[in-house]
Amino acid sequence: MVFVSDVLPYGISCKNTKEDKRNIEEPISEKNLRGSHEGFIEILDTNLSMLRRRIHSEKLKFKAVTIGATTRQTVVIAYIEGIANHEIVDALFDKISRVEIDGAPTIGYIEQLIISHPNSIFPQYMTTERPDKAVSALLEGRILILQEGSPIVLIAPVTFISFFQTVDDYSKMWIHGSFLRLIRLFGALVIAIYLPALYIALTSFHYYAVPLDLLITLAESRSKVPFPPIIEIFILEITVEMIREAAIRLPTYIGTAITLFAGLIVGEAAVQAGIVSNLVIVIVGATAIASYVIPSDDMSLAIRILRFIFTIAAAIFGIVGIVSITVLTIAHLIRLDSLGQPYFSPFSPRVIDDLKDTVLRLPLKFMKKRPKTARPQDDIRGENF
């Protein structure tokens, strides 16, 4: 369709085609209580219009590039002019423009081809299907990557702590949001990583550090098990991972039944058969639950892989192995970057102003400045904040 006018020296063309598409629904993997219940879909124009509907400003800009020698797909970079750093925008645009591939069935292909550290287990781009989360990222000076045919949107640059933040953290009072964030961080960084490794280290090397009453109970529980602690942990951890994969692949109603059956029946049968001890069931169950509190599936997978590394180190070296892997992990996080920006900021390098929205989320009146992660051109949030 073309619009012409006698007062304009040019015409305006636009597409007026009707395409079959699924309904705009809330993403299954990103539920929230107080935020929007909309989600991106596979139609790029619809996704861009959802951003336009939330940001009524001509400063919202889109830069498009075509990739795929065969598929000829459109990839769009979205940012807010005057807030986003132009150097970072141009660097990202150049990276995507240099991608040489026949086609990208999902946006994950592009992510793998443009990240700086492809061999790291930690995600360097955040993924989301939520428009409100995408808009929040734009307002902080970050950049979005959208692809035709994919409901997933990439956000960059991001930090390690960004993967533990949710939209609900900012929709609630700051005390409530901070409490929930503390629960997430404690569950992910303490229970999900260290609990199995500490169990192995204490039972194999440092049993003298366990109180006598607990040690007696632990010895009685382990007396019926013929395997060393690491075999116990591995049996249940691998079983939990298989259950998780099975639940994803199966229909919802069958997946729920399989999960309940495996968790209750198989676990109880393993204890009765003397394959694992009661305490190991509790430990693996607690770590599995702690893995689910992480909002990002990519970070959850990284934490689960890291848990296996800690478990093996604890089985070989005990507490010394746990401490060594902890130091190496922190050093690796400090070395990483997301689109050229420090990944472990604001802890290293330390940015005092950004600490107000990390472990705790302070009241909004104290968040007058945007995070320094994306090096925004305009540091202040609004003119009359």
Asked if residues 160 and 343 have their Cβ atoms less than 8 Å apart, the reply is: yes
Domain residue ranges of the chain, discontinuous segments joined by +: 17-158, 171-341
Q: Please state, in angstroms and rounded to a whole number, the distance separating the CA atoms of residues 306 and 295.
A: 17
**Distances 355 to 24, 105, 369 between C-alpha atoms, Å:** 36, 38, 12
Asked if residues 314 and 181 have their Cβ atoms less than 8 Å apart, the reply is: no
Asked if residues 153 and 178 have their Cβ atoms less than 8 Å apart, the reply is: no
Q: What is the DSSP letter of 190?
A: I
Q: What is the pLDDT of residue 139?
A: 93
Burial pattern 187-213, b for ≥16 Cβ within 10 A else e, equals: bbeebbbbbbbbbbbbbebeeeeeeee
Bridge partners for 63 per DSSP: 77
Task: Find the helix packing angle between 278-292 and 229-249, rounded to 10°.
Answer: 40
Radius of gyration of the chain (CA): 24
Tokens standing for residue 227: 């395997």
| Cα 18–Cα 129–Cα 375 angle in degrees, nearest 5 | 115
Q: What is the pLDDT of residue 260?
A: 60
Q: What is the pLDDT of residue 136?
A: 93
Q: Please state, in angstroms and rounded to a whole number, the distance separating the CA atoms of residues 235 and 232.
A: 5
**In a 3-state reduction of DSSP, which class is residue 159?**
coil
Q: How many CB atoms lie within 10 A of CB 234?
A: 17
Q: What is the pLDDT of residue 385?
A: 46
Q: What is the pLDDT of residue 18?
A: 64
| Cα 17–Cα 20–Cα 25 angle in degrees, nearest 5 | 120
Q: What is the pLDDT of residue 258?
A: 62
- The whole-model pTM stands at 0.87
Q: What is the pLDDT of residue 115?
A: 92
Q: What is the DSSP string of 103-130?
A: --SSHHHHHHHH-S-TT-SS-SSEEE--
Task: Find the helix packing angle between 192-204 and 297-317, rounded to 10°.
Answer: 10
Q: What residues in the chain have per-residue pLDDT under 50?
A: 385
What does the CA dihedral 74, 79, 84, 85 come to, rounded to 10 degrees?
Answer: 10
Q: Please state, in angstroms and rounded to a whole number, the distance separating the CA atoms of residues 122 and 278.
A: 32
